Structure 1
Amino acid sequence: MNIAHPATDSSSSTFHRPELLAPAGNWDCAKAAVENGADAIYFGLDRFNARMRAQNFTEADLPKLIEFLHRRGVKGYVTLNTLIFPNELTEAEQYLRTIIAAGVDAAIVQDVGICRLIRHLSPDFPIHASTQMTVTSAAGVEFAKDLGCHLVVLARECSLKEINKIQAQIAEQEVALPLEVFVHGALCVAYSGQCLTSESLGGRSANRGECAQACRMTYELIADGQTVDLGDRKYLLSPQDLAGLDVLPELVKTGVTSLKIEGRLKAPEYVANVTRVYREALDRVMADLGEPNPLAPFPAGEGGSREPRQTERQVEQGDQDHYNLEMAFSRGLSTGWFRGIDNQELVHARFGKKRGVYLGEITRIRQEQITVRLEAPVKPGDGIVFDSGHPEAKEEGGRIYTVDLRGPEATLTFGREALNLRRIHVGDRVWKTNDPELDREIRQTYSGEHPQFQRPIQVEVHGEVGQSLIAIARDGLGHVVQVESTMPLVEAHNKPLTTERLQEQLGRLGNTPFELGGLTNHITGNVMLPVSELNRLRREIVVQLEELRAQPKRWQLRSPASWQELLSQPLSTLKAQANSQVQTPELVVLVRNLKQLQAALAAGIQTLYCEFEDPRAYRDAVQMVRKEKNEKAFSSLPSIYVAPPRITKAGENWILQQVKACDADGYLVRNYDQLQFFGGDRCIGDFSLNVANPLTAGYFKQRYGLERLTASYDLNMAQLEALLTSCPADWFEVTVHQHMPMFHMEHCVFCAFLSEGTDYTNCGRPCEEHEVTLRDRVGTEHILQADVGCRNTVFNGTAQTGAEYVQHLLKLGVRHFRIEFVNEASEQVAQTIQRYQQLLQGEITGAQLWRELRLQNQLGVTRGPLETRS
């Protein structure tokens, strides 16, 4: 038996080869991803996806797109990763039926109710828990598994150490699911699924795919009432882009199943460029780790089948990769949170838009010529921009006409009147923003009609004199075909069918999706077969494999099922139970310090929530409430609920233990760890659980026994009404006054800009010494606070009120109305509580309260997200 390039037995490999998952906002991007080595792509349809600004695909595109992908051995995942409102459930159900019937490989989902609906419609269609579900721990993985998910996309904020810890914990607890992580692309400064900034500032919800990218804007840092001079650092919330290239070996060793590239809003050149870099780098990593590549996507040459660019031959592979990534799109590249928290590196704060490759600094300007001390290669035709430290203003830039290289410097000329030289200065930085030669090369990778990226097949041949030649081909994806010759093998007097000759003939797979990855020769004796017959066998293998691949996946799909069946009881029965227990309307108050708590107690509030930076202070808060009961002889003991931080990472249960040690009456739960940890206690579900439809509400209310749920802050009045009429209104409390928590983030602004430290171990805790706000471009000062985990929340400086909707909400059956305070003085707390008490008692109208608050509050109030938008 002769074997050439034998297939790898993946079971013997020490490390699993992760899938490379690329973004596709349109057909060109899909083709760019496929032709540059993506194992799978993810894409949105024209509804219910978190990138509504992308071109996206239509339902009618699905069959053709999925067939194209599957013929090429690539999987296709649909993003259905937004919150779904009650009146959209019927449409979402039809969407899901179309997706499942089209043979899509999985849906990427944020909404808990949609996970339930998918599993109701199909017992086997794969669900991937989106990063919008904010999974940061083993408890989150277990939550997703209980929902019926097949894979979890971890939050981008998870470090390599934390990923390893999650893997160990889910293996120990036997709740293991495959894990996916983002390896490259733009970083949201806030936790995905927990950012309410666009909703707060403009009614464009990030949880609905309408992010306005307020994190990329300029802010001033105000500490203790004074503007902090940060020089040219103005983009305080704009992270550098993620590039996991340098930690790729460590990522593979964590055992993650999928590496995801961000960028559904990006051009096909970006998709092709970045996918190719990571495809080649991943192949090199797997080879270094001792696993021969079963895909062998770039067979010719080291690191690729195509020749490296002539102009960059002198650049090492790693430098070339970084150059390509920066040219694809870059606000600066870093490893994000993979290596742990480094607040100095994550946000350089000098610009928030694409820059590209740093070319160098201007050393001389003479007549129409500009001399630059080079840090990167440059050539005629390249596009550049001059950076004077004011990226928010119009910047000079253009295409280079000539380059005169002299040692480390280059003198550049430009087209006549292309630049206003008066706006360019010695010392300005220069960025290369475009490389036409690279773009041209990249476009060639996906512009042809025939497949350019080929995936290997393994072929074995059998036969002996007098019998047909049998060839069995496997594509590595589970597809196997067998073909045989129409004529018998005859004895060879010369040129027998050696392994080499079989490789030569069967390996001529140009213009097909395949290449010969390995051939095993089981032929007995010296035999021969005409070349024409070998060619026919080769063509038949290709045809049959493509036909097998093109067949849509047949997921189970229950035809009579509907979302209404997931309601545990008929709605009429639930409503009747709710109406039989009508309660007096109650004002619930959330405070963030002990003085505010004292004011709320003095106002007679019976249900109090505390959210303090230091959970150890909760013991004092509980004692204060119980002492007040004894001293003032309350008719009933006020209930005090305390809030753990919004995020709980692997290894942070000590924080939850600190919270529980205060012996409060109950807990305001924000995430999956807290649902698990406080499972035997009285619990209220907070807004961060993203309850936006009755299927999600029913799951949290009935599976976890939560007393009440806080309606999602993404709902306007019409959507909230639809939620309240689709399940019992007494399940919910509605927040009617608050400073919206806009950004909730791992990035610590205190550490980054008020210290030289990298994290809590060396920052000196400026958060404990200074009161800080962030002033935006229109002059509003947004409040910055840190929690015990050093995560920051930016609260909208302008309070929002739903006072004008309270009477309508009362008619709908709402009985719990929450008002929240951040840094208000106790006098203002008392006055605001009094007004809302008068509102609930019918003594003043919502319009009166609205007008009065506008006059009282220095910053004014807005009507906030409840205001119905067109």
Structure 2
Amino acid sequence: MKIEILAPAGSYESMRAAMNAGCDAVYMGGNRFGARAYANNPDEDTLLKAIDEAHLRGKKLYLTVNTLVKEDERLNLLYDFLEKYYLAGLDAVIVQDVGVMRFIHRHFPKLPIHASTQTTITMAEGAELLKSVGVTRLVTARELSLKEIKNIRDNTDMEIETFVHGALCYCYSGQCLMSSMIGGRSGNRGRCAQPCRMPYRFFSENKLISSENEPYLLSPKDINTLALIPELIEAGVSSFKIEGRMKSPEYAAGVSYIYRKYTDLYLSKGKEAFLDFLKTSDYKNDMICLMDLYNRGGFSQGYGKTHHGKSMMSMTRPNHGGVRVGEVTGYEKGYAFIHLGEDVYSQDILEIRNNDNQPVYEFTVKDDVSKNDMLKSRVGIIPTKSKHRKYKNYTDIKNGYTVYRTRNNKLLDHIRDKFIKTDVKQDITGYLYAKQGEKLQLTLSLNNHYVTAYHNAVEPAIRQPMTKDKLSASIGKLGDTLFKFKELIIEADDNIFIPVSRLNEIRREAADMLSEAIIGAYHRTEEELIKKEEPKLTNRMSINDMRMNDMSINATSINVGVSTKDQFEIVLTYPDITSIYADYDGFTLKQLTDMAKAAAAFGKAYYIMLPHICRLKTYEQLSKDAAVLLEHDEVSGFVIKNFEEAELLSRLFQNTGQQRHLRLNHNMYIFNKDAKQFWRKKGIHHFTAPAELNENELRTLDLQDCELMVYGYLPVMVSVQCLHENTKQCNKCQAGTLRTDFLVDRLGKKFFVTTHCNGCYNIIYNGQRLSLLGQADKILDLQPEAIRLDFTIETSKEMKSVLQAYRDVFVYGKKSFPEFDNITYGHFKRGVE
């Protein structure tokens, strides 16, 4: 069995360091389409060099193409971006966008595709939908338990890759619009500004329930699953993925080395020996190394064995927490006396923290000091501008304050010396043939690659013959290549002469030939490409004319989403509302079926909006409920929010012979026409335009089969974490209820929070309502299939006012309308980069 250690490479240097440390593969971004746009991503030439070097080392390189791709980018940029890397032998691409998957599979058919964790796949049923577009590996959602991962393993033959170490998002990856809506930096486009690492206050029933000492309510600890390696392998994980493309080469190397060590320990010695090793001081020291490299308030083991909870959060500090190395036992006249619990080294950076874990003072250690010794250091003073007094005492240092190391200089130097300054080389076999009067020959081999270089005929020696030792010494100097001799066989006459320069030449030539043979074995030919299609010009006027002549398509159809019974009853009274979307999480099954009958009585189409997240428990319950709902002809269809629901309904339709309309929600990100085509092949022909495209991009996408969100509080985060449980206690909300609370950020902006206890997740909503009423003319010009309004926390009065205004403008063509407060145009004007 081989378990892949997959390391982050935010730069070429990080790639080299991680490979020297023992990883099997790296994932790296290019200068476009990667989810870490601010990493030190290589340019085209450097990335091509990196692909070749990975193959020389016997490793793999996966390219991140894991952003959402706009239609004009798909047409004009994506093919040219990938073509050279594909021909160079790129091992795989990591992809979020199903349209990009379809595009790559069509044009680069021999390129394996890995489904990014951004796809939010939680079950094998969702993963199976992606096989048709060449997906061979699933990167699981990070929130899954070991049991859920095992369930995926048992129900698909895809490779399974799981994050085992590093930063953890608060939100399900791929479901976060928070950075996008706050500042226009979209996580779906590789530009996340990490608002989850900012301070917030949490209010319930208008009362502050979060603690001032724990303001980082959305900041999870980094994960460390070193102790779970046996269970991860038993669950069927074949690739251990380390997060950290924004981190240093030292981080990539250090973490890769330790995970390689422990994975090999388990594979070679077994589970019992592995668990025994976890009791040793070596394990403790390795954990300290990982803490020194980076942690946030310590580590958690992620969601493998913990569903959620405060123990997984770093609520007092959102950045590197360092390692606790001591405690202040005395402070006098500008000097602190620190009793050390760990060794510290020259140039280490130490930080003194108060009882609230907040930093008070930071200083650099001058000399090595051993564990259990006393470190005396001049601290607690700050510079002044006074000519007479250069420093003044800073006396906010007290006995009992803790001391943390935030930089371990000795560890970093050790990693540099071992993994960055020195390359690990491949073992090769050499055969030198040197017979008088015959051509000099050098054959090199590595695995199944064999090359032979030839030089001039070997001459007889006149004075000093060339001994085998001398031949071995010259040929053995492989220098800055990535090779070293495991074995060098020399077959030579005794009385021969070969100039050293000739030996150098044949050695260099043979080494170059071997490199070219290894690299060339990965290269693909242009015949393996499906050439780029030229963009087709669409006669939009003819489409519009057809639509105007087709009375079954009404550009001003209004669809309304509701979360409460009161909201549903209000919508019934508006005859111009075309369809009602009832939130599955907001109602009992009986309520949903009763509402279906009521909607039909008022002549309205009736859809069920399914849950944002569909894990095993939800899937099983939804399967039962959907079967009941299909017995009611009044249920017109379903709004789908994840891959699992699409598969569930497809299977249910097939088994029952029933059919209903299906529409994709906006969080399924139809950014391009290839994404539409993917879903059409799955039987879904109606979409909701994504919230991150601007007017021009929506026009390019063509909205004739898309509804457009024009009103509502947009979800910006979906999280398995519960703010109530983490700040106060779990109040065990009753099934079917949605209690609303709110967060307040450091600028005073509100974000509303709903607790979905049926599916066990929270949704955080943007505190400003999306309202495009003032853009009505532009929206009508886009001619969407329908417009959509979603209601969540609005009062009855607010809802009626909004419905009246949108009906007057979009149905009756009125030009005047009320001005709503606290609104945003979202990305309709600005878009995202």
TM over 0.5: yes
- What amino acid is the match of 1:55? N
Structure-1 residue corresponding to 2:578:
606
Which residue of 704, 728, 733 corresponds with 1:754?
A: 728
What is the CA distance between 1:353 and its match in structure 2? 1.0
Q: Which residue among 773, 789, 802 is the counterpart of 2:759?
A: 789
Counterpart of 1:96?
82
Shift of 1:555: 5.2
Asked if 1 retains the 8 angstrom alpha-carbon contact of 2:29 and 2:36, the reply is yes
Within 5 A, what are the aligned runs for 1:419-434? 421-434=394-407
* CA drift at 1:187: 0.9
| Equivalent residue letter for 1:683 | L
Q: Offset of 1:38 from its aligned partner? A: 2.3
Q: TM-score, normalised by structure 2?
A: 0.84
C-alpha deviation, 1:453, in angstroms: 1.5
The one-letter code sitting in structure 2 at the alignment partner of 1:691 is I
2:751 maps to a residue whose letter is H
Give the counterpart letter for 1:430 in structure 2: V
1:24 aligns with 2:9: yes
Measure how far apart 1:51 and its partner are.
0.8
Matched, 1:250 2:235: no
The residue aligned with 1:156 is 142
Letter in 2 for 1:192: S
Q: Which residue of 1 aligns with 2:69?
A: 84
Separation (CA, whole Å) in 1 of partners of 2:137 and 2:192: 25
CA contact (8 A) 1:399 1:414 kept: no
The letter for the 1-side match of 2:166 is G
Distance 1:530 1:239 in 2: 72
CA contact (8 A) 1:166 1:650 kept: no
TM-score by length of 1: 0.81
Change (3 A) 1:55 1:603: same
1:224/1:770 contact within 8 Å kept: no
SS of equivalent to 1:350: coil
Higher mean alpha-carbon deviation, 647-656 vs 316-325, is at: 647-656
Q: Which residue of 1 aligns with 2:389?
A: none
The aligned residue for residue 46 of structure 1 is: 31
Task: Tell me, in whole angstroms, the C-alpha distance in 1 between the residues paired with 2:525 and 2:148.
Answer: 34
Change (3 A) 1:438 1:621: same
CA contact (8 A) 2:340 2:370 kept: no
* 3-state SS, counterpart of residue 767 of structure 2: coil
Counterpart in 1 of 2:364? 399
Shift of 1:832: 1.2
Task: Find the counterpart in structure 1 of residue 292 from structure 2.
Answer: 327
Q: 1:353 maps to what in 2?
A: 319
In 2, distance between residues paired with 1:769 and 1:741? 14
Q: Structure 2 counterpart of 1:818, which letter?
A: R
Q: Is the 8 A contact 1:196 1:205 kept in 2?
A: yes
Q: Secondary structure at the match of 1:401?
A: coil
**CA deviation profile, 1:516-565 (whole Å, cap 9, x unmatched):** 67x899x9xx99999999x9999887555323223252155566733568
1:692 is the counterpart of 2:678 = no
Q: Shift of residue 406 of structure 1?
A: 8.4
1:368 aligned residue: 334
Is contact 1:249-1:285 (8 Å) kept? yes
Structure 2 counterpart SS, 1:655: helix
Q: Please tell me the residue identity of whatever aligns with 1:320.
A: N
How is 1:439-450 mapped onto 2 (pairs within 5 angstroms)? 439-448=412-421
Q: 1:212 aligns with which of 193, 215, 219?
A: 193
The residue aligned with 1:619 is: 590
More displaced stretch, 251-260 vs 316-325? 251-260
**Structure 2 matches for 1:403-802, cutoff 5 A?**
407=372, 410-414=375-379, 417=382, 421-448=394-421, 452-456=423-427, 475=446, 479=449, 512-514=481-483, 544-551=513-520, 552-554=522-524, 561-563=531-533, 578-582=547-551, 583-584=553-554, 585-604=556-575, 605-613=577-585, 617-627=588-598, 630=601, 634=602, 636=603, 638-650=604-616, 652-660=618-626, 661-663=628-630, 664-679=635-650, 680=653, 681-700=660-679, 702-724=680-702, 729-755=703-729, 764-765=732-733, 771-787=740-756, 788-802=758-772
Provide Cα deviations, 1:652-686, integer angstroms capped at 9, x if missing partner: 42132244133432111111111111123321111
Residue matched to 1:8:
none
Amino acid at match of 1:639: A
Q: Report what 1:837 is aligned to.
A: 807
2:105 is the counterpart of 1:119: yes
C-alpha distance in 2, partners of 1:243/1:653? 29
SS state at 2:585 partner: coil
Q: Does residue 316 of structure 2 align to residue 338 of structure 1?
A: no
> What is the letter of the counterpart of residue 317 of structure 2?
F
User: What amino acid does structure 2 have at the position aligned with 1:685?
Assistant: L
Q: Does the 8 Å CA contact 1:400/1:414 hold for their aligned counterparts? A: no
Distance 1:429 1:716, change over 3 A: farther
User: Which of 201, 217, 221 is the matching residue for 2:202?
Assistant: 221
User: Post-superposition shift, 1:364?
Assistant: 2.7
The change in CA–CA distance for 1:395 and 1:659 in structure 2 (over 3 A counts) is farther
- What is the distance in 2 between the residues matched to 1:130 and 1:566? 30
Q: Percent identical across equivalent pairs?
A: 27
In 1, Cα distance between equivalents of 2:478 and 2:738: 69
Q: CA 1:822/1:475 → structure 2, altered by over 3 Å: closer, same or farther?
A: farther
The one-letter code sitting in structure 2 at the alignment partner of 1:602 is T
**CA positional deviation for 1:169:** 1.0
Counterparts of 2:673 and 2:133, CA distance in 1: 15
Change in CA separation of 1:470 and 1:59 when aligned onto 2, cut-off 3 Å: closer
Which residue is 2:40 aligned to?
55
User: Equivalent residue of 2:321, what SS?
Assistant: coil
**In the aligned structure 1, how far is the partner of 2:811 from the partner of 2:3?**
64
Alpha carbons 1:402, 1:413 under 8 Å: kept: no
How far apart are 1:434 and its partner, in Å? 0.6
Q: Quick one: distance in 1 between partners of 2:496 and 2:328?
A: 64
Q: Secondary structure at the match of 2:233?
A: helix
User: Which residue type is aligned with residue 30 of structure 2?
Assistant: L
Question: Are the structure 2 counterparts of residues 413 and 276 from structure 1 closer, same or farther at C-alpha, using a change threshold of 3 Å?
Answer: farther
Aligned equivalent of 1:497 = none
Q: Unaligned regions of 5+ residues in structure 2, if any?
A: 384-391, 459-470, 654-659
In structure 2, relative to structure 1, the CA distance for the partners of 1:376 and 1:658 (3 Å cut) is: farther
> 1 CA distance for matches of 2:517 and 2:192?
41
State the secondary structure of the residue aligned to 2:220. Answer: coil
- Letter aligned with residue 655 of structure 1: Q
Contact 1:364–1:426 (Cα < 8 Å) also in 2: yes
**In structure 2, the residue corresponding to 1:697 is in which secondary structure?**
helix
Equivalent AA in structure 2 for residue 424 of structure 1: I
CA separation in 2, counterparts of 1:458 and 1:149? 37
| Cα deviation digits, residues 693-724 of structure 1 (max 9, x gap) | 11112221x21332420111121222212212
The code of the aligned residue for 2:172 comes to Y
Which residue in 1 is equivalent to 2:256? Answer: 275
The aligned residue for residue 465 of structure 2 is none
Contact 1:591 1:609 in 2 (8 A): yes
Cα deviation digits, residues 29-79 of structure 1 (max 9, x gap): 222222222222221122211111112112233332222222222222221
CA, structure 1 residues 614+740, in 2 after alignment: closer, same or farther (shift >3 Å)? closer
Inter-CA distance 412–285: structure 2 relative to 1 (3 Å threshold):
farther
The 3 A distance-change label for structure 1 pair 475 and 55 is: same
Offset at 1:101?
2.5
Please say if 1:136 is aligned against 2:122. Answer: yes
Deviation at 1:820, TM superposition (A): 1.0
8 Å contact kept, 2:580–2:607? yes
1:387 to 353, 363, 371: 353
Cα distance in 1 for partners of 2:561, 2:787 equals 11
CA positional deviation for 1:818: 0.7
Question: Residues 806 and 420 from structure 1, CA distance in 2 versus in 1: closer, same or farther, beyond 3 angstroms?
Answer: farther
Contact 2:122 2:644 in 1 (8 A): no
Q: CA deviation at 1:149?
A: 1.7
